[in-house]
Amino acid sequence: MLHIDTLRIVLGDQLTPTLSALRGGDKTRDVVLMMEVADETTYVRHHKKKIAFILAAMRAFADELRASGWTVDYRRLDDPANTGNFTGEVARAVAHHRPARIVATEAGEHRVAAMQERWRGRFGIEADVRADDRFLCSKTEFAAWADGRRQLRMEFFYRDMRRKTGLLMRGGEPEGGKWNFDSDNRKPARGDHFMPSPRRFAPSPRTRAVLDLVARRFADHFGELEPFAFATTRAEAEESAANFLAVALPRFGDYQDAMLSSEKFLYHSVLSPLINVGLLDPLDLCRRAEAEYRAGRAPLNSVEGFIRQIIGWREFIRGVYWLKGPNYVRGNALGAARRLPAMYWTGDTDMACMAAAIGQTREEAYAHHIQRLMVTGNFALLAGVDPHELHEWYLAVYADAFEWVEAPNTIGMSQFADGGVVASKPYAASGAYIRRMSDYCGACRYSVDQRIGPDACPFNALYWDFLARHRARFNANPRMAQMLRTYDRFSDAARAALHEQAARFLAHLDQAGTDRRSRGPA
Ligand code: FAD
Ligand code: DLZ
Ligand code: SF4
């Protein structure tokens, strides 16, 4: 029987050498525990690439810790003794190592945080669960900021984060005289030969072993496993970040909302999986982006936009997740009850925009923000899809998806299912928005200009039908009331035709079937 001082627990999204659970540790007397467990791979049926990315990055991090002198007890998924869950593996490790105490960093989501709470009394030793200080704004700081505010608005929170970090500040004033340059950032893009692309990496032998494991064990999960080109080590993550800052950041702002059928990534960073598992430090990235601006290599609208996504949206979203508690994911303010259409899994649809967003999700476990918000999210909103089913889909299919960040984006920003906590109005749009911001419509079998008839773009009738369905709620919102006034100017016959068109489309959609593939075993 071994006796160690402290068992230090590191979860799959805590791959950071300066993690609070590792701080102050004694490499000669402590053991780090990392666990691949079946429950985490199936609580939703994650995309194959997402599972491969997380397990490969965990194994790489364990090797990095060993190289720096730590003893790591690493539990593999295919070890026959593996209990399949965190608590079971911690219990086995406690029985084996007989530590005087366990130290962990609080988990990123309610489900696992509740498990950690139970560890406190369970093993008869001290269990120290420390705050995750890889975020700029602690949970208590966010709660204090939110306290007494009638509405939580990201923009005001963001300004406080700018002041707190000093990012893009000149004295007490924002660089360039404005806090937000979003109005410059809505340009449609055109494909050319000079588009940057994210760095891709050939799988190492360590990653190859994980790919074989995932191919064997998760063959029936959504998504294509290969080619697999994700960064999985800290050095590769660093190369990815340097590449983004050098080649894509300068145009990030201009084309932030654009979509192109030939370009899956445009000028986006594709760094979210790396930031979310802890391979990149978000504040460091922002400081480096600011340095690009100060050196004259990237314009202010791009750098401000990028920094806002990270110290503004990312931190705000996390604050809302913890503030609103575990029932937030059950929000359904608009009473949406339609089952998730099968096309979210198959990509089988004539709608070119949906086929593109879902197709690249299947291939890459990635879609950029506007595809998530204004294509797949917008469609589900207009069609009245059950927000919880949609939440499980987003949580399963994206490599960057962890509940703390996915849920407020889906339930709040995209589906308005929290009744307006995250967004001041629903992100609902007709086909005209997609036509303006993309090149999808040109190759679509539907006509974006038509509202009625077999060739009419489905987004059009669905949009007006959605507005009318929820008019009692939206009348009070000045930004929605304007669209309702337009609707009211349509003739009775035109309105009836729109509703009939929407109903016919939705009936076809339901007939095409639904599928609960995101669910793990009951
Ligand atoms: P970029 O466009 O390059 O942006 C830079 C960084 O800013 C991102 O890497 C990310 O860390 C941060 N960021 C940008 N927007 C947001 C946002 N709204 N919330 C939080 N961080 C943001 N993001 C996730 O990280 N995980 C998710 O599970 C997730 N689910 C989403 C679900 C829906 C329905 C929507 C509308 C958005 C979701 N987002 C999620 C936010 C956003 O779409 C992704 O962060 C972004 O697409 C990641 O790609 P990127 O790294 O190329 O981002
Ligand atoms: C998402 C995920 C997956 C697929 N597998 C593991 C795993 O085997 N071991 C692990 O420690 N973490 C995994 N994760 C990430 C966890 O689900 C994540 O750490 C929790 O959601 C807590 O936020
Ligand atoms: Fe999408 Fe409508 Fe455009 Fe087709 S016509 S790509 S369905 S917005």
Q: Tell me, yes or no, whether 327 lies in a domain.
A: no
For the Cβ of 444 lying below 6 angstroms from any atom of ligand 3, the answer is: yes
Instruction: Pick the residue whose CA is nearest to atom 1 on ligand 3.
Output: 353
516 or 449, higher pLDDT: 449
Average pLDDT over residues 331-359: 97
Does 330 map to a domain?
no
Cβ neighbours of residue 230 closer than 8 Å, sequence gap 6 or more: 49, 52, 53, 56, 201, 273, 399
For ligand 1, pick from 409, 413, 416, 518 the residue to mutate: most ligand atoms within 8 Å of CB: 409
Whether residues 404 and 301 share a domain: the answer is: no
For position 240, which CATH number holds? 1.25.40.80
Report the residue count for the chain: 522
Whether 184 shows a pLDDT value over 90: the answer reads no
In the numeric block, which tokens belong to residue 36? 């691949």
Q: Are 123 and 116 in contact (CB under 8 A)?
A: no
Residues 109 and 147 in one domain: no
Pocket test for ligand 2, best of 13, 47, 49, 119 (most atoms within 8 A of CB): 13
Closest protein CA for atom 8 of ligand 2: 36
**Number of domains present in the structure of the chain:** 3
Q: pLDDT higher for 356 or 521?
A: 356
Domain for residue 84, yes or no? yes
- On whether both 148 and 265 belong to a single domain, the answer is yes
Question: Is 376 in the same domain as 500?
Answer: yes
246-302 confidence digits (pLDDT tens): 999 999 988 888 998 988 999 999 999 999 999 999 999 999 999 999 999 999 999
**CB 41 less than 6 A from any atom of ligand 2:** yes
Domain end among 130, 161, 178:
130
Residue 174 in any domain: the answer is yes
Q: Is the CB of 109 under 6 A from ligand 2?
A: yes
Q: Which of 83, 100, 130 is the last residue of a domain?
A: 130
pLDDT of 521 reads: 38
Whether 13 lines ligand 2, by a CB cut-off of 6 Å, is: yes
Backbone region of residue 514 per phi and psi (left: phi > 0; alpha: psi in -120 to 50; beta: other values): beta
Residue 492 forms part of a structural domain: yes
416 and 482 belong to one structural domain = yes
Are 367 and 435 contained in the same domain?
yes
> Are both 254 and 125 inside the same structural domain?
no
Any idea what the CATH number is for the domain that residue 96 is in?
3.40.50.620
Boundary-marking domain end, from 315, 334, 369? 315
Determine the Cα–Cα distance for residues 186 and 491; give it in Å rounded to an integer.
33
Co-location of 307 and 405 in the same domain: no
Tell whether ligand 3 has an atom less than 6 A from the beta carbon of residue 446: yes
522 band by pLDDT with thresholds 50, 70 and 90: very low
Examine the pLDDT at 342 and tell me if it is beyond 90: yes
Whether 221 lines ligand 2, by a CB cut-off of 6 Å, is no
Residue 372 lies in a domain: yes
* pLDDT for residue 2: 67
Which ligand is in closest contact with the Cα of 378? 1
The two structure tokens encoding residue 351? 């709608």
Whether 250 and 393 share a structural domain:
no
Asked whether residue 358 is assigned to any structural domain, the reply reads yes
Q: Whose CA is nearest to atom 6 of ligand 2?
A: 40
Does residue 287 share a domain with residue 372?
A: no
Terminal CA-CA length for the chain: 37
Average pLDDT, the chain: 95
Tell me if 343 sits within 8 A of 428, measured CB to CB: no
- For the CA of 11, the nearest atom of ligand 2: 11
308 CB within 6 A, ligand 1: no
Q: Same domain, yes or no, for 277 and 184? A: yes
pLDDT of residue 193: 59
What average pLDDT does this structure show over 422-446? 95
Q: Is residue 223 part of a domain?
A: no
CATH code, 379: 1.10.579.10
Q: In the prediction, which pLDDT does 57 show?
A: 98
pLDDT above 70 as % of the chain: 98
Q: Which ligand is nearest to the CA of 443?
A: 3
Residue identifier of the C-alpha nearest atom 7 of ligand 3: 351
For the Cβ of 403 lying below 6 angstroms from any atom of ligand 1, the answer is no
Element (H, E) at 61: helix 48-67
Supply the range of the domain harboring residue 482.
343-519
Question: 186 pLDDT band (50/70/90 cuts)?
Answer: confident
- Residues 6 or more apart whose Cβ sits within 8 Å of residue 270: 198, 240, 244, 366
Same structural domain, 310 and 381: no
122-155: pLDDT as tens digits: 999 999 999 999 999 999 999 999 999 989 999 9
Whether residue 395 has its Cβ less than 6 Å from ligand 2: no
Give me the pLDDT at residue 520, please.
44
